[in-house]
Amino acid sequence: MKRFRPYRTDAATREQYSDVQVQAPDFIYPLFIVEGKNQQQIINTLPGVFRFSIDRLSDELAEITALGISKVLLFGVIDDALKNPEGTAGYDPDSLVCRTVRYIKQHFPRITVFTDVCLCEYTSHGHCGLLHGDQIENDSTLPVLARIALSHAQAGADFVAPSAMMDGQVQAIREALTSAGLKTKILSYSAKYASSFYGPFRDAAGSAPSFGDRKSYQMDYRTRDQGLAEIAADIEEGADWVMVKPAQTYLDIIQRAAVAFPKTPLAAYQVSGEYAMLKNAAESHLLNEEQAFKESLTAIKRAGAQYIISYYAKEFIRKGL
Ligand code: PBG
């Protein structure tokens, strides 16, 4: 008989044998930004997450910095009146995201700033690419994504993070950055699945599609190898870091990506639906929230993610290990 229980006799022994630890530097914390003054808006579907106006960011940034979290991912939530079919608000050099990047870089220079690069936040139809009739067009979207990325990079973003799932988006952005003489890095949402777990985010960001769904560009989860092929193509096109999204239901893809591309840093996004499910289950006393989010985040890291984008980042660090 092989005895395993000696590894588990008491807390100190269990700690000694545990070899997966999620730590503050692993986290990328998402931030939703709105226009206006003195705004800290509650998001009903994401308890504990807020939309901030730029003038209210400093406390939030000071808090995450004090916790040791040094990376943020920005989402600009703009007024519907500014949206149009072409998403032109996305590449205004004075856009909400650009102003936020400049603010953070000036006041919190040690924070690494990632920006989401997509059209769904800026188009009146809420899709991630340009429309031709009722079809989302790939190639005409590429220069728009490149312009959005370039505006964020010129404002000082450290990483741009294309999430539109258009073929060739990493290459288009890389070329735009290179010709502008910028060394901004690219974190590509490479293997992003068409998932029902994005529901609360679309409420938070006001980016729900006005018709149809995203299945013609985001990946079908009934595929085993496409995610790996997407990641390989993005690395080839010049992505510095790659991502699998969502996380909990794609641990197999995370694991395989970590093994297949050991030299490329891998991030995983514990998305809004994953967070909201745990919050709601805890609210209904179905489970212990703290134990549940620790288990979930540790599993994501154990699968092979080096970085985790999570709405739980602050709580995880605050509660200690
Ligand atoms: C698109 C984008 C989405 C998320 C991040 N970037 C929504 C979508 O693709 O439908 C979802 C993140 C989450 O659910 O937490 N710009």
Q: Which of 31, 46, 78, 120 to mutate to test the pocket of ligand 1 (most atoms within 8 A of CB)?
A: 120
**Is the Cβ atom of 116 under 6 angstroms away from ligand 1?**
yes
Q: Which atom of ligand 1 is nearest to the CA of 272?
A: 15
Residue nearest to atom 8 of ligand 1 (CA): 198
Instruction: Determine contact, residues 180/154, Cβ cutoff 8 Å.
Output: yes
Distance from C-alpha of 320 to C-alpha of 179, rounded to nearest angstrom: 45
Residue 59: CB partners within 8 Å, gap ≥ 6?
none
The answer to whether the bond into 265 is cis (omega within 30° of 0) is: no
Ligand 1 mutation target, pool 201, 217, 221, 275, most atoms within 8 A of CB: 201
Ligand 1 pocket, residue 274 CB under 6 Å: no
Average pLDDT over residues 314-319: 96
Atom index in ligand 1 nearest the CA of residue 218 equals 9
Instruction: Kindly state if the Cβ of 120 falls inside 6 Å of ligand 1.
Output: yes
195 lines ligand 1 (CB under 6 A): no
Minimum CA distance residue for ligand 1 atom 1: 163
Indicate if 192 belongs to the active site. Answer: yes
Residue type at 73 in one-letter notation:
L
Residue 202 has which token pair?
């679309």
162-219: pLDDT as tens digits: 999 999 999 999 999 999 999 999 999 999 999 999 999 988 999 999 999 999 999 9
Mutate which of 190, 198, 221, 250 for ligand 1 pocket (most atoms within 8 A of beta carbon)? 198
Tell me the pLDDT band of 320, cut-offs 50, 70 and 90.
confident
Averaged confidence pLDDT in the chain: 97
Spatial neighbors of 113 by CB under 8 A, at least 6 apart, are: 71, 72, 74, 101, 104, 105, 156, 157, 158, 159
pLDDT in tens, 286-302: 999 999 999 999 999 99
Judge whether 301 counts as a catalytic residue: no
Q: What is the pTM of this model?
A: 0.98
176 close to ligand 1 (CB < 6 Angstrom): no
Instruction: Choose the CATH number for 23-245 among 3.20.20.70, 3.30.390.30, 3.40.50.920, 3.40.50.720.
Output: 3.20.20.70
Pick the catalytic residue from 71, 83, 185, 245: 245
Residues 162 and 188 sit within 8 Å (Cβ to Cβ): yes
Ordered by start, the domain boundaries in the chain are: 23-245
Supply 208's token pair: 């729900």
Shortest-distance atom of ligand 1 to CA 121: 16
Cα(75)–Cα(19) distance, rounded to whole angstroms? 34
198 lines ligand 1 (CB under 6 A): yes
Mind listing the pLDDT tens digit for each residue in 136-160? 999 999 999 999 999 999 999 999 9
Contact 104, 191 (CB under 8 A): no
What is residue 245's predicted lDDT score, i.e. its pLDDT? 98
Q: Does 201 sit in the ligand 1 pocket, CB within 6 Å? A: yes
pLDDT per residue over 57-96, tens digit each?
A: 999 999 999 999 999 999 999 999 999 999 999 999 999 9
